[in-house]
Structure 1
Amino acid sequence: RDTDQKITHFVSAMGTTGTIMGVSRYLKEQNRDIQIVGTQPTEGSRIPGIRRWSPEFLPKIFEPDRVDRVIDVSQDEAVSTTRKLASHEGILAGMSSGGAMTAALQVASEIESGVIVTIVCDRGDRYLSSDLFEE
């Protein structure tokens, strides 16, 4: 409703893959041209809440044909974007949200125009005792 049904891209962190599967199913029913973009950590990166699934361990609910593209995000990128969400936007989010936003910003830099939607899927208060917000 808020986008007047003009979404061109939906970007989601891929943890259990439940969110991206459910949203993809609904959005593709509304408009098959909407691009569904998942994000996962780069090799060796740890982003709590997002996983890089090996094929033999993919969640049973995951249907690869429902995702048009997967963007790899490094731990450093997720941390940087999470910090920017807090300092520039006042959004105290966690690292998986930073990962999703990093991918959404990458998509935005690649297209001329569009409506990109992502979800801030975790809270930053869980990271207050870590070094995530130290700077």
Structure 2
Amino acid sequence: KKQYFPQIFEPSRVDRVIDIAQIDAENTMRDLATHEGIFCGVSAGGAVFAALKLSHEVENATIVSIICDRGDRYLSTGVFVG
């Protein structure tokens, strides 16, 4: 399994990396658009999915997820269908 990390990634600044499936990122992206009115992209869906997963594992924590891309770039890919 190949992992993607951008060139600016500094492992010493990261507490944990949470692996998620592409389908979970896409489903969360669609849920954010449908239920929250947040029109974001797949990587943002993945970040929110990971934050939600983490929220079930810890107590009394403040968890922040950044919506880092917008959904209009994905309209032609078909990920918003279904």
- TM-score, normalised to structure 2, is 0.89
Structure-2 residue corresponding to 1:105: 52
Q: Helix, strand or coil for the counterpart of 2:17? A: strand
**Unaligned ranges ≥5, structure 1:** 1-42, 45-50
- TM-score, normalised to structure 1, is 0.56
Deviation at 1:113, TM superposition (A): 2.0
**Unaligned ranges ≥5, structure 2:** none
Q: Distance in 2 between matches of 1:62 and 1:126?
A: 24
Structure 1 vs Structure 2 CA RMSD: 1.6
Give the structure with the higher percent strand. 1
Runs of 4+ displaced beyond 3 Å? none
Larger Rg: 1
Number of aligned residue pairs: give it: 82
Identical columns (%): 54
Structure-2 residue corresponding to 1:48: none
Give the structure with the higher percent helix. 2
Letter in 1 for 2:53: Q
